[in-house]
Structure 1
């Protein structure tokens, strides 16, 4: 690892674990991109930049018709001075013009990794884990400065990037576009991969070849969204799970974003990612600065699974924080699909008692415990206990659950406000709204204006008061609608387009203060399931409710797609009742359990209604998961068969020392007179022998990976089987 600057050639060579990234200052201060890929020893660059006289590509230095920014591979391109491709940033000056010209001014190389003010980002625990480079670009006319920050990690094939804008001039500057990174690839012979979907079918894998023009994904919803995840990857054509070059780009941000690839007339590809410039501006007064979110860039020479394992380990150990980062997560029972809003203390205690008898470790009380919350039409913002449902209060209920030997958890939706609430009647201006316009509702609720400090202060106090009032060890933090009428009564007209980003800064402040004040609490984020499953939230809350859809078959694609970027320790996965409440499918308790045990395991049904046979099965599943959860939550994950490519799915988890493994296989539909099939395992030590704990048979790791295991003859639709292996 290291960052090397060659003063004679003006090149920067960034070296992470097994990857190199090379830039060069050319001509009169333009920062050019030269290489990103497999690690190389020195940056002599036999493939040098080539300059040609290209028609209709103007020249910033008129005397040299071979030099144009329109054909130069750049690190952080501008608008208006000969590059017709999409810029990484754009500004507007007081005279109305939008042309700027950032040139290299200086740089510094230093150990460690700085924090980003007000924003989540990956981190280090000692300065020797990483090295950073700041490159200062300067616009001589306006005195605008852009500080490009690059960090390379010693133990990961990771380069992180962000940008800080500083106004060192005497006039106000308006940022119109402030993306976090740009990479200009020398060709476009790649495929674009991204994760898209909708509520209840999040993060499905989409893959297609790049074509001339712009291809993009984005969110304009005020959240990273169910529809598109803030991640894209470029794949060498034909790359698969275990072969081929892959370049991953993941934005550590939870709001509106844009990820795009532009293929130009010469078949080069420009990748850029950051805050969505749609409906965004930011005023920089003299002396002020603006920090963009971080992008985590991962290179893999060995396919998608290697990229995924890099993201998993980095996000699990250097993005997630707190007591539960490295701690096994409890098995929970959540009452939502068992009772919805209709419960009392007696019913809650009955479900908790049933859970205790089955070995479950945590009871979670979901929506409906506060205000006058008998449906979804009231009381959001009124964070006080409904004594009609819980006459003895929250502390009494929590202590009764804890006396059973279980932990107690609670649901909140702290970012929302109901029109029918005491809070709204006191502060109708505390929601996002635009003057003289109607206020659209989603799920009968409005969104609190987190760009306002007094609103954030209220939420911090209200949530903290509840958490102090009872022995609560888990919080589910929900967010059930997207933004409309995005405006703030606290901001002047010229700053209204800052509202959505200021909201995110306020949200991050609220989460930071609450999670820091209650380090013993396990926080799980949620947004109608996986509507805000992004790295920004993982910085504050180490796990996320993966999807409101708990159907086992649907979850195969959802969890498989999510695993491309996010660690298994971040995925909440529950067994629910059948017919499933989202798709009305009937599946066995076996497959529901095996899918859910491939994440942070729990149940979301009425345990008091189970038959004796079902209770025995649940008890077996709970006991089994306790034996494998260290593997599932903290082992290395390997995808074997994709639900996006066929009727079967398979994945496995291997301990870091390769001494044990857990394998899961799923088949959706039965096939008449089907061919025999087998499963080649991944990630084992070829020089070790492994015992199959189900039958005691012993095989070499090389046999299991290269020859494979027979898949048993399974009967019917929606079936699964699992294996446990231990080195012997």
Structure 2
């Protein structure tokens, strides 16, 4: 262990503080970093251990930050938990004496917990009001957060790399830097905490090339053809997608090697000659001639046992020589701690970009780690091979980051989508390289409303891939109207995954209009402030609102479903019963003395009236939804209109 004493500190650029501590006996230094972002009211912290000894040191635990809360108060912990196809569920509990552990040991961020927390005193804060301490960890591998309340009524939260099965040999002169931990405080409730994180993400984390760009409308081929794709099928699909107004055409799994199903070809990143005798060139040229960019699905960290790559390099995967590997989806995980593996992946991806002008990759990972063994360690890591095996959890994540960072550096026009069986690897470490996240494999729009709500506590709408898909949903067997699906998809970065070739003329025309409308309002959704107005966790109405930064324009979505929540609060009901259900919502974030038009109506209402008296909406029952636009009217027009 270390007994650390203060040595010195340095202030850099006015917003960064570096405090150096040194062990009382050993020449080991810890540098504690603090970086303030005043415009978004966020503090970022990290730690770096420096070995000034003449011999190696074995590092077994190093955390990014400890957050201490004011003493002598009870706190409620809010976190996000779930499982595959049911991610980002808000969980709340009071912090009692003892420890509460949140973690991942799966080699990825995981579907089961998200590295985010919020703490509010006495559990009294609300969505729009009250003190909240909050934070997130920027790491895409094994992590942990521990909330502790001591016998002296002190509450603290520790966050960092999980010390489970972790060790790192730190040789003389070397340093080890932890992932960053983001934290903040607000008196504006959970919504204020979310907006601080959103502002930080979009201004300082989101990849710079597309930071000032609006995210385009995608079409994804997966749910139309699954693996059964070929050149002519995709050309017909691309022609229809272009007619709808799609901006990026994405070809999902099945385009490479011998890939006919999930059992073969993974790891062999060359175009299938059977499906694409001309390579991808003809398809890419066709897509671009239709005014769209071209995107491909990849899963570079995995390899099928039935693949040329695995047959040639069985030593490239993790495993133990005395144990049978655990096969998941007929695949194993490649060891990205190895330089030759990273070089192979980079060679495959860079060749695809150069040859076909790929604009976007959806980077997937459909299994977690097992048998975490490394057969041949790096030549400079042999002094303690048993302990060095434990470095692979960190080395793998750093290997993923290295390849993605190289893509961003050498091909800045190429964007990335993070996917791991849906939302299994979404975090602030991945957000540095990936503009978009597939937040779940479950595209049922009703389930997605709850997933989106949880996701919005941590991440901005611009990063949230949100899809219109076919009905009934294969996971819930539920069918909902096309309008409901489009409205749900509009609450994030909208894309289409339905079999559009099977749409009727009426459905096609409706989709064209919805895509046109989304393009018109997406600056508000992707760049504006998000307000959660109502939740299906507590009510029959889900409602979310977006407001642009000048508070001139706002978009509000409302959805009705009565079978998954408690009875609606009586105070907000105006009329509750068929054929029309009338309900009152309370928009937020408007300028009190500005007057707003509702969906272009001549009748105006002040921001103060909308926020305090409320907005009446009407819905026809389960599966109904609506979109309300609130637009501030210039003062000259305002004088000529009688307010309602």
Q: Summarize the alignment of residues 176-187 of structure 1 with structure 2, pairs less than 5 Å apart.
A: 176-185=60-69, 186-187=71-72
Question: How far 1:697 moved relative to its partner?
Answer: 2.8
Question: How far 1:366 moved relative to its partner?
Answer: 0.2
2:640 aligns with none
Any idea what SS the aligned residue of 1:535 has? coil
1:208 aligns with 93
User: 2-side partners of 1:648 and 1:319: how far apart?
Assistant: 33
Any idea what SS the aligned residue of 1:228 has? coil
2:381 aligns with none
2:330 aligns with 444
Match of 2:283 among 390, 397, 402: 397
2:358 aligns with 472
Q: Which string of whole-angstrom CA distances, capped at 9 and with x for unpartnered residues, describes residues 120-145 of structure 1?
A: xxxxxxxxxx6111111111222221
2:630 aligns with 725
Matched, 1:416 2:302: yes
Q: Summarize the alignment of residues 428-577 of structure 1 with structure 2, pairs less than 5 Å apart.
A: 428-491=314-377, 492-577=385-470
Calculate the TM-score normalised by the size of structure 1: 0.82
2:621 aligns with 716
Match of 2:7 among 105, 109, 113: 105
User: 2-side partners of 1:521 and 1:675: how far apart?
Assistant: 46
The one of the two structures with greater contact order (alpha-carbon pairs below 8 A, sep at least 6) is 2
Question: How far 1:262 moved relative to its partner?
Answer: 1.1
Question: How far 1:672 moved relative to its partner?
Answer: 4.3
Matched, 1:192 2:77: yes
CA contact (8 A) 2:407 2:414 kept: no
Corresponding residue pairs, total: 611
Calculate the TM-score normalised by the size of structure 2: 0.93
Q: Which string of whole-angstrom CA distances, capped at 9 and with x for unpartnered residues, describes residues 328-371 of structure 1?
A: 11111101011110121111111111111112222100000001
1:631 aligns with 524
1:227 aligns with 112
Question: How far 1:656 moved relative to its partner?
Answer: 0.6
Matched, 1:158 2:42: yes
RMSD: 1.4
Question: How far 1:263 moved relative to its partner?
Answer: 1.0
Moved over 6 A (4+): none
User: 2-side partners of 1:230 and 1:528: how far apart?
Assistant: 18
Q: Which has the higher helix share?
A: 2
CA contact (8 A) 1:399 1:471 kept: no
1:48 aligns with none
CA contact (8 A) 1:395 1:471 kept: no
Q: Which string of whole-angstrom CA distances, capped at 9 and with x for unpartnered residues, describes residues 294-345 of structure 1?
A: 0011111111111111100111110112321220111111010111101211
User: 1-side partners of 2:295 and 2:108: how far apart?
Assistant: 25
CA contact (8 A) 1:451 1:488 kept: no
2:21 aligns with 137
Question: How far 1:693 moved relative to its partner?
Answer: 2.2
Question: How far 1:268 moved relative to its partner?
Answer: 1.1
Q: Which string of whole-angstrom CA distances, capped at 9 and with x for unpartnered residues, describes residues 450-505 of structure 1?
A: 11111111101111101111132221111111111112223233300111101111
2:511 aligns with 618
Match of 2:236 among 342, 345, 350: 350
2:591 aligns with 685
1:363 aligns with 249
Matched, 1:167 2:51: yes
Any idea what SS the aligned residue of 2:483 has? helix
User: 2-side partners of 1:442 and 1:284: how far apart?
Assistant: 34
Matched, 1:705 2:611: yes
User: 1-side partners of 2:394 and 2:259: how far apart?
Assistant: 30
CA contact (8 A) 1:694 1:723 kept: no
User: 1-side partners of 2:90 and 2:367: how far apart?
Assistant: 24
Any idea what SS the aligned residue of 1:270 has? strand
User: 2-side partners of 1:152 and 1:358: how far apart?
Assistant: 44
Any idea what SS the aligned residue of 2:557 has? strand
Show structure 2 runs of 5+ residues with no match.
Answer: 378-384, 564-575, 634-644
CA contact (8 A) 1:189 1:210 kept: yes
User: 1-side partners of 2:426 and 2:95: how far apart?
Assistant: 26
Question: How far 1:190 moved relative to its partner?
Answer: 0.7
Question: How far 1:522 moved relative to its partner?
Answer: 2.2
User: 1-side partners of 2:440 and 2:233: how far apart?
Assistant: 26
Q: Which string of whole-angstrom CA distances, capped at 9 and with x for unpartnered residues, describes residues 240-271 of structure 1?
A: 11111111121011000001111111121121
User: 2-side partners of 1:257 and 1:311: how far apart?
Assistant: 19
Show structure 1 runs of 5+ residues with no match.
Answer: 1-98, 112-129
CA contact (8 A) 1:252 1:296 kept: yes
1:266 aligns with 152
User: 2-side partners of 1:694 and 1:387: how far apart?
Assistant: 54
2:33 aligns with 149
Match of 2:189 among 282, 288, 303: 303
1:596 aligns with 489
User: 1-side partners of 2:406 and 2:561: how far apart?
Assistant: 45
CA contact (8 A) 2:104 2:144 kept: yes
Question: How far 1:675 moved relative to its partner?
Answer: 7.1
CA contact (8 A) 1:452 1:490 kept: no
